[in-house]
Structure 1
């Protein structure tokens, strides 16, 4: 039961911090005036608050599992030791400072920087932190690219709601945001692919067959398949649904195109959340099939 709670907490924290960074970053490069449709400040402030609460719960759960203590009085010395004497404690402290800054001043620039720091802190407790600086850097870049993708998907789903498209100006905002994401999305795919391969080589090495025999390998293969599915949907959005929405703006018939784009991006977002769930699970497993 404790393992399941740990996985669920990791999943919730990963999703929250990915979205905090990704939504803030989307606000920086998307079309000017996007804040008329997306309530950035309350969204980012709420994500930062939730991330802080999940971080506190995760620290308490991890310390309790390591020490065997469940009462707060007995657990307190272990929490102090965890915070002051371990790399995980340092990462947690940096994350909390970044999240508090984002809560107090949830502007786009500050939230994106704070979100990036908070998200990068997750890599300090992953496989990369146990290997070398290059693996850690690859993990950080992988997380940042994933956050940029996930945040953009949530923002585009929000912007393509029919109740948000009541004027030509708002439809134009969606069209321009989709076009601006095209270049960013291509860079995200390149970074995710490159860092994914690097991380695989660092964790497992140039081998495949025996790894797939274990739970870790099966989940990793499923993650790759889901990522391939996201690439197919991203290509559909890039080469068909985005241009279709742009043409519909000129024709004055945008509902069908906006619906199609929203459904596609919603599925893409759902797949991305499944991948994050697999990552949270993989973080608790060893790649050794034995």
Structure 2
């Protein structure tokens, strides 16, 4: 039960911080005037802080075996003051506090990036040493930032396409989709390269033995879901984007808008499944049966 709670907490925290960073970043390069992000960003920052506290308590409890808070407190202090995980947690809380106070697009993007990067210290990279540790953490952080940019953009596009879309909002939506085409290409490239690097860092240049483990099965499912997301992204790029531009000349643009909504919803749902797998994978060893 404790392991399941840990996975659920990791999933919730990852989703929240990924979306927080992605939404803030989207506001920098797209039509943020059409979206009221600040209350949402503040809410996400608050949720992330609460989930971070719960996660730290659960981790310290699991490591110490203590249940009473009075007995747990010295272990919490040791975790915060003497471990890299505790330092990463403290940095995340500072970044989230800054975002709660000043959720402007630039500051929220930077704070969200710091909070998201801090999650790398709860992954497999923390087990490495020396130069390998540095490059593994760098790869993990870039992977997280790229994933956050993708998820946040999907949510932002859904928010922009909700309700009845008039001509003015349709133009903003088209501009946002067009800008995201270039950002999306960089995201896919980053996710692909860092995904391969992370596999090599964790597993090494081998395949057969890993595929027979629980870790390998989950990793295979993750790769397949990512491939489906790439197909949907290609559909958005080469079909739905031009269809939105054509919709400007149509009497009723909602057909194209509804098609975009369905595609983005499916893409976001697949992304959430991938994050759930990542939350699970982070608790497993590649040799797990």
TM-score by length of 1: 0.97
Any conservation in 2 of the 1:162–1:255 contact (CA below 8 Å)? Answer: no
Instruction: State the shift of 1:253 in Å.
Output: 2.3
Is 1:86 paired with 2:87? no
Give the SS at the match of 2:208: coil
Partner-residue secondary structure (3-state), 2:286: coil
Distance 2:111 2:238 in 1: 33
In structure 2, what is the equivalent of residue 239 of structure 1?
238
Question: Could you tell me which residue of structure 2 aligns to residue 287 of structure 1?
Answer: 286
Deviation at 1:252, TM superposition (A): 3.3
Q: How many residues align?
A: 285
Alignment of 1:1-290 (within 5 A): 1-31=1-31, 34-36=32-34, 38-131=35-128, 132-163=133-164, 165=165, 167-289=166-288
Q: What 5-or-longer segments of structure 2 have no aligned partner?
A: none
Question: Per-residue deviation at 1:160?
Answer: 1.0
**Cα deviations by residue, 1:95-120 (Å, 9 ceiling, x for unpaired):** 00000000011111111000000000
Query: For the aligned residues, what is the CA RMSD?
Result: 0.9
Alignment partners' CA distance in 2, 1:263 and 1:243: 16
- Rounded Cα–Cα distance in structure 2 between residues aligned with 1:5 and 1:113: 30
Q: Report the CA distance between 1:289 and its aligned residue.
A: 4.4
**Any runs of at least 4 consecutive aligned residues in structure 1 with deviations exceeding 3 A, and if so which?**
none
Distance 1:242 1:286 in 2: 41
Q: Is the 8 A contact 1:210 1:289 kept in 2?
A: no
**SS in structure 2 opposite 1:207?**
coil
TM-score w.r.t. the length of structure 2 is: 0.97
